[in-house]
Amino acid sequence: MGCCFSEPVDFDGEVNLYHFDLHRAVGKGAFGKVRVVEHKRSKKLYALKYIDKARCIRQKAVANIIQERRLLEEIDHPFIVNLRYAFQDDENCFFVLDLMLGGDLRFHLERKVHIKEEIVRFWIAELSCALEYLHRQRIIHRDLKPDNILLDAMGHAHITDFNVAIHYSERRLHTSVAGSMAYMAPQVLNKKGYSWQADWWSLGVTAYELIFHKRPFDGRGSDKMVQSILKDPLRFPDNARQHCSEHGMSALKGFIDRDPSSRLGCRPNGQGLEDIQQHPWFSGIDWTRLENKECQPPFVPDMKQANFDVSHELDEFLMVEKPLTHSKRKANPDLEKMRPELRQLEEQFTVYDFTNMRRMSYYPHNQPIVALGTDSESAERALAQSANNTIGPTASIVERSQAGSPIESNDRHYIPALPSNNQHGYPAS
């Protein structure tokens, strides 16, 4: 789908949709679609995630969209789907992101009976580097699962979808429930307070599912699943040794540890990545080459076929929904006459252009954003729902973010902050 706009494009002006040619749809989210776009001047391909403002307001998700926009500006890492541009028009908010044509891990999991252990180990090593980086930026992802891990054309793994991600506090634990139930750490579900350690649990559950093609804790209905996560012992399938080594199962036990102080990646004497690097399962990995993307991935996606659900394009083809088109913005919109949520998007979903803007951190000022024009009764909201309109185990849910009670340093649940490489909290650009 090309652009038929005849006027010349001002590439030196503020970035907008006219800077891109629109190509095929490759994904679908809660509020819009993802499609491949090509920057007309640089000829580089990107993924365009666009969010329908009206739908976003109806589902009371304005605060989450702005939070995601701000957090993405802080992030730049080899194993994360990074933000390159952000802008809006009268109908949509746009994120232009690194393009990942290798598909998400849910796609590959559903098409393979089993994924080899060495492939999963490689992905987990790459994702560990990304998580360690996020935690040093004081960011918790909160929704790590196969659906939110994308492969590039070479086979490298990248974390995406920061819709429920937040900054963590070094003095307070979070108590709001957010993420996808099947991957939530016990501390998230029991609402007694959690921090960045919850991401390592989710990574462990993801690794278990990729290796064994099933999740470690399951149950029919959300109540049974919660009880399973909170209380059931970690068990491996009867044929586990056919698919996973002793070192691999040891690593899974380390990640899926209900005690965050002894969880792999969280232990005080080997915090973060160092703890993982020293585990025997990862002994054969050259971490310097890995972080530089110099290691050959053991699985390379077949780029001769689409690594995504091709039905995403049918909705527009069959006119089920309105196709995305280039459209000029209304000149000088009157903010005073806008409804509060639209005005909030206008003022806070700001333009970003990675070619001429320095990445900045909103921390510690990036507190949870309060939605305007909404009631507090919608404390819990489904961002994605299964076909039968109930929250499924892999659907993302989120409550309004709120910090828990202050945790004193002599409390047995005290969670020390990760050491920061950078006093100002700025990511490397």
User: pTM, whole model, 2 decimals?
Assistant: 0.82
Mean pLDDT confidence for 296-319: 71
State the total domains in the chain.
Answer: 2
Let me know whether 126 and 211 are in one domain.
Answer: yes
Is the pLDDT at 107 greater than 60, yes or no? yes
Of 72-86, 113-127, 285-299, 345-359, which range is least confident? 345-359
Q: Which residue has the higher pLDDT, 396 or 272?
A: 272
Taking only the tens place, the pLDDT of each residue in 361-403 is 766 554 545 444 433 333 333 333 333 333 355 666 665 443 3
**pLDDT the model gives residue 113:** 74
Let me know whether 34 and 155 are in one domain.
Answer: no
Of 64-78, 143-157, 176-190, 255-269, which range is least confident? 255-269
Let me know whether 207 and 126 are in one domain.
Answer: yes
Of 86-95, 253-262, 342-351, 416-425, which range is least confident? 416-425
- Residue at 61 is within a domain: yes
Choosing from 52, 143, 257, 275, which is the catalytic residue? 143
Query: CB–CB of 391/181 below 8 Å?
Result: yes
Taking only the tens place, the pLDDT of each residue in 308-349 is 765 555 555 544 456 677 677 666 666 666 788 898 998 899
- 38: domain range? 17-100+307-353
Is the pLDDT at 104 greater than 50, yes or no? yes
Of 6-10, 11-15, 217-221, 417-421, which range is least confident? 417-421
| CATH code assigned at 96 | 3.30.200.20
Write down the mean pLDDT value for the chain: 81
- Residue at 6 is within a domain: no
Residue 312 is given by DSSP the state G
Q: Where are the alpha helices (DSSP H) in 34-150?
A: 53-58, 62-74, 105-111, 117-136
Q: What is the 3-state secondary structure (H, E, C) of 218-281?
A: CCCCHHHHHHHHHHCCCCCCCCHHHHCCHHHHHHHHHHCCCCCCCCCCCCHHHCCHHHHHCCHH
On whether 44 is known to bind a ligand per the annotation, the reply is no
Let me know whether 289 and 176 are in one domain.
Answer: yes
Phi-psi region of 234 (alpha: psi -120 to 50; beta: other; left: phi over 0): beta
Residue type, 173: L
Known catalytic residue at 309 = no
pLDDT tier at 357, thresholds 50, 70, 90: confident
| CATH code assigned at 168 | 1.10.510.10
Beta-carbon neighbour count of residue 115 at 10 Å? Answer: 20
